[in-house]
Amino acid sequence: MSPNNNNQGMQKRMLVMTLVVFAFFLAYEFLVLKPQQEAKAKEQAQQTQQAQQVTSNQAPSIANEMNQAPQMVQGDVNTNSVNVAPALGLAPKNVAATVTTNKSKYEIDNLGRIAQVTLLETKYVNEDQKQIQLFDLNQLRPLEVRFSDANINEEAFKTNVVASQASVDATQNKQELVLTQTLSSVVVTKTLTFYPDGHYDVNVKTSTPQTFFLTTGFRPNVLVDMYADHGALLKLNDGTLTTFLDGDMEKTESLTGVKFASAFDRYYTSVLYNFDKSMSVSVMKDGNKDPQMFIHGNGDLTVSGYAGPKEHILLHKLNPELVDVIEYGFFTFLAKPMFVFLQFLQTYIGNWGWTIVALTIIIKLILFPLSYKGMVSMQKLKELAPKIKDLQTKYKDDKQRQSAAMMELYKKHGANPMGGCLPLILQIPVFFAIYRVLLNSIELKGAEWIFWIHDLAEMDPYFVLPILMGASMFLQQKLTPNTLQDEMQKKIFQFLPVVFTFFFLWFPAGLTLYWFINNVFTIGQQYYINSVFEKQKAIKK
């Protein structure tokens, strides 16, 4: 097969792959995700109605499905399982204490669990302009304690805690809240210390030695979509990260040497951590095969926790290793330093929108040598296209001579049939890293840019940026030399700006802004190279 045919085959496969990927995303959005969201909204409405009927002295029933319980780590305890208890629906009368910090309000229910966390900063509002709340009413709640002894566990879910105070103000200084649960054979004392920045320390102690489990709770359910991962993330002593995504849990997994356990959605987390003494954690599936994490305790357990947005600066202040709670996927090794640089630029620029513009320009300048080589190669191939076609016609019955003649032609004119693809392939990791950074950066929440863009983490309300992005992509195509020989491939390629525009309608404005600026500077680079080639052609004439 000739190099040119090889090149055309690769281009065709790239086009087909691109269209298949986008078709999948669009089909998933409208045929799978949307019906799921509608069904979930209906289910939540039913759960809310049921929760309002729950009285303060009611407790969830204890399930006897032992195979669904987390298995004990060898040597940790003598029992093999812990009973599973469904979460108690929240009603106003079930709140035992309320804790207010500078960033959030914690509601502690009558079983000593975190029933709800409301974010207090003005930028954290939902589409109804109400302050964001992290948790659903009927789900596994953070700081729930379960016992391996079935009798104690059953009694614990029927016995209210006694709070040392009903209202705690931790906006200025750290404050302590003590929750005491007196059972027939043991007294459970849960001491919570809250800090102004929203994080807390928790110590769970039993009056007699008992094996118990403390959970992070089910992940926040503020923004769960097809574009970002959500589930459970654990960091081990060796620095490795282990992720269990929603819907993927098949069996209970037990891990030792755990530094932190994070239940997360796209922007928010409920995390428990201990960097001084590592934890043992069991991860079990719920009815939807979603992960639920339980930290092993034996008589006395101390950890720290945080429930809120995955803000890089705050997590770094709590502990530099906690920034690993922000997960960027396969290209994390590139995305992490890129976000640090983005944040560095923002400290000087002061506006996240213009910071994205500046980052895009800087990256385009750094990658310009690669882009230049690719664009020059495409221009040379365009110039040689008529000669290549003549050779294909001349040697249509002798592929070997055709291949040799074309190789000689490429060598004579310094052209590389793969020269346009390789620079692009080398830039793909950078583009994906930026994509993941802008997709997962909660810092863009509530960040204004200009005029109509009041939140870079939300879609453009008037679709101006997606349309500009599509138009710039169309113009970029017109300026870029097209080496495709097949007319059908050309038409498919020309249709891509429409597909991309439609796809970006619901993307965060910050991400669309990056893509638009990237296109604008690519157009500038292509125009410059086209001008250079035109001048060279004029000189040769």
Residue 12 lies in a domain: no
Residue 386 lies in a domain: yes
Q: Write down which residue in 292, 319, 346 finishes a domain.
A: 319
Question: Quick check: 135 pLDDT over 80?
Answer: yes
Band the pLDDT of 486: cuts 50, 70, 90: low
If you compute the radius of gyration of the chain from its CA atoms, what whole number of angstroms results? Answer: 29
Q: Write down which residue in 319, 345, 369 finishes a domain.
A: 319
Residue in 306, 140, 113, 293 with CA at minimum distance from that of residue 213 = 293
Question: Quick check: 282 pLDDT over 60?
Answer: yes
| 226-252 pLDDT, tens digit each | 667 899 999 999 999 999 999 999 899
Q: What is the mean pLDDT of residues 426-453?
A: 85
The string of DSSP letters for 143-184 reads T-EEESSHHHHHHHTTS--EES-SEEE-SSS-EEEEEEEE-S
| 444-460 pLDDT, tens digit each | 988 899 889 998 988 89
Q: What is the pLDDT of residue 57?
A: 29
Query: What is the layout of strands, in order, in the sheet containing 114-119?
Result: 114-119, 104-109, 95-100, 167-169
Of 24-33, 316-325, 457-466, the range with the lowest mean pLDDT is 24-33
Residue in 74, 56, 63 with CA at minimum distance from that of residue 159 = 56
Question: Quick check: 84 pLDDT over 60?
Answer: no
Same domain (yes/no): 419, 519: yes
Same domain (yes/no): 84, 220: yes
Are 136 and 87 in contact by the 8 Å Cβ rule? The answer is no
Same domain (yes/no): 261, 405: no
Same domain (yes/no): 301, 391: no
Same domain (yes/no): 264, 155: yes
Band the pLDDT of 71: cuts 50, 70, 90: very low
Of 172-181, 321-330, 377-386, the range with the lowest mean pLDDT is 377-386
Same domain (yes/no): 287, 436: no
Average pLDDT, the chain: 80
Residue 278 lies in a domain: yes
- What residue has token string 């357990």? 301
> Three-state DSSP class for 356?
helix
Same domain (yes/no): 219, 348: no
Q: Determine the Cα angle at 229 with ends 45 and 301, to 5°.
A: 80
Residue in 522, 519, 523 with CA at minimum distance from that of residue 468 = 519
Same domain (yes/no): 434, 497: yes
Q: What is the pLDDT of residue 538?
A: 67
Q: What is the pLDDT of residue 77?
A: 34
Which structure tokens are listed for 126? 């939902």
The amino acid at 326 = I
* Strand 291-298 to 253-264 pairing: unpaired
Residue 214 parent element (H or E): strand 211-215
Question: Quick check: 422 pLDDT over 80?
Answer: no
> Three-state DSSP class for 106?
strand
Taking phi over 0 as left and psi of -120 to 50 as alpha, with beta for the rest, 31 belongs to: alpha
Q: What is the mean pLDDT of residues 97-102?
A: 97
Q: What is the pLDDT of residue 537?
A: 66
CA distance 206 to 212: 9
Length of the chain: 541
Q: What is the pLDDT of residue 517?
A: 93
Residue 19 lies in a domain: no
Are 83 and 68 in contact by the 8 Å Cβ rule? The answer is no
Question: Quick check: 197 pLDDT over 90?
Answer: yes
Which structure tokens are listed for 492? 């498919």
Are 288 and 246 in contact by the 8 Å Cβ rule? The answer is yes
Of 194-198, 333-337, 364-368, 387-391, the range with the lowest mean pLDDT is 387-391
Burial category of 504 from C-beta neighbours within 10 Å (exposed 0-12, middle 13-18, buried 19 and up)? buried
* Tally of structural domains, the chain: 2
Question: Quick check: 117 pLDDT over 80?
Answer: yes
CA distance 244 to 230: 8
Question: What is the four-CA torsion angle of 270, 275, 278, 283, rounded to 10 degrees?
Answer: 20
Residue in 271, 242, 270, 246 with CA at minimum distance from that of residue 256 = 242
Residue 37 lies in a domain: no
Question: Quick check: 507 pLDDT over 60?
Answer: yes
Residue in 308, 291, 280 with CA at minimum distance from that of residue 233 = 291
User: How many CA atoms lie less than 13 Å away from 155 in the CB half-sphere?
Assistant: 13
Residue 215 lies in a domain: yes
Residue 200 lies in a domain: yes
Residue 11 lies in a domain: no
Q: What is the mean pLDDT of residues 267-287?
A: 95
Same domain (yes/no): 356, 493: yes
Are 447 and 489 in contact by the 8 Å Cβ rule? The answer is no
Q: Write down which residue in 319, 348, 363 finishes a domain.
A: 319
Residue 252 CA: distances (Å) to CA of 248, 279, 447, 463: 11, 17, 40, 45
Same domain (yes/no): 425, 532: yes
Q: What is the pLDDT of residue 29?
A: 47
Q: How many helices (H) and strands (E) does the chain have?
A: 12, 17
**In sequence order, what E strands does 78-166 have?**
95-100, 104-109, 114-119, 145-147, 162-163
CA distance 170 to 294: 27
Residue 11 CA: distances (Å) to CA of 209, 421, 503, 518: 67, 8, 22, 22
For residue 284, the domain's CATH number is 2.70.98.90
The string of DSSP letters for 325-349 reads GS--GGGHHHHHHHHHHHHHHHHHH
Same domain (yes/no): 266, 405: no
Q: What is the pLDDT of residue 113?
A: 96
Same domain (yes/no): 493, 451: yes
Q: What is the pLDDT of residue 78?
A: 31
- Taking the alpha carbons at both ends of the chain, their separation in whole angstroms is 35
Containing structural domain, residue 445: 336-540
Q: What is the pLDDT of residue 393?
A: 80
Q: Mean pLDDT highest for which of 36-45, 304-313, 433-442?
A: 304-313
Q: Is the pTM of this model over 0.95?
A: no
Instruction: Tell me the helix, strand and coil percentages in the chain, rounded to 5.
Output: 45, 20, 35
Question: Quick check: 70 pLDDT over 50?
Answer: no
Q: What is the pLDDT of residue 291?
A: 95
CA distance 528 to 2: 31
